[in-house]
Homo-oligomer: A and B are copies of this chain.
Amino acid sequence: MTGDPRTILVLGGARSGKSRHAQALAEARSPARVFIATAEAADAEMHARIAQHRADRDATWRTVEAAIALPEAIRAHGAGGDVVLVDCLTLWLSNLLLAEMDLEAAGAALLDATAAATAPIVFVSNEVGFGIVPDNALARRFRDAAGRLNQRLAAQCDATDLVVAGIPLRISPR
């Protein structure tokens, strides 16, 4: 591959600095920027997080909300040259799970939309599988689905970064 990677997956733990790194990657690519937010402000805690993230972005960013219809949003905004930042896949999966959607089909639709896009896309996702096995079955289903989606997307993206304590590590291609 020559030149910049078109699609980049940014993985990290909670509060690892992955969103900030992904934003910096996106801002280096294009002055025209679309932020696809998958978060829903279901409670005060989440509302505060969303507001903080929004305040971290300036007016060069357009914000689109896609709590469920993420593949559709990527098709709508990924056909031009604007850089697209998707933050984050883990919340999207969580929304799908709560809505009792088909996670495998949704993942396939996401991969298809990504392959069909022409825009540079940066995805943010949580790595959630490095703790002990969760007690409840729903959490295990979520963790399995998140791991599978991260694997599938990493295999398709041109580059994957792992962020640890704010330090981005390019783990593929090495």
Could you say which residues of chain B place their CB within 8 Å of the CB of A134? 132
Q: Is the CB of A15 within 8 A of B164?
A: no
Q: Do B131 and A151 touch across chains, with their CB atoms under 8 A apart?
A: no
A129 touching B17, Cβ below 8 Å: no
Copies of this chain: 3
Chain A contact residues: over half helix, strand or loop, or mixed? Answer: mixed
> What class of interface size applies to chain A in its complex with B?
35 or more
Min Cβ gap A112→B in Å is 19
With a CB–CB cut-off of 8 A, which chain B residues contact A13?
127-130, 147
CB distance from A167 to the nearest CB of B (A): 5
Which residues of chain B are within 8 angstroms of A137 by Cβ–Cβ distance?
45
Q: Is A146 an interface residue (CB 8 A)?
A: yes
Top 5 A-B pairs, shortest CB-CB distance: A15-B147, A131-B131, A13-B129, A130-B130, A14-B129
11 contacting pairs across A/B (C-beta < 8 A): A13-B128, A14-B133, A15-B150, A128-B133, A129-B130, A129-B131, A132-B139, A147-B165, A150-B165, A160-B167, A162-B164
Q: A17-B151, A128-B131 are in contact. List 19 more A-B contacts (CB 8 A).
A: A12-B129, A14-B143, A15-B144, A16-B129, A16-B147, A45-B140, A127-B130, A127-B165, A128-B133, A130-B130, A132-B142, A147-B165, A150-B166, A154-B166, A154-B167, A155-B166, A160-B167, A164-B171, A167-B172
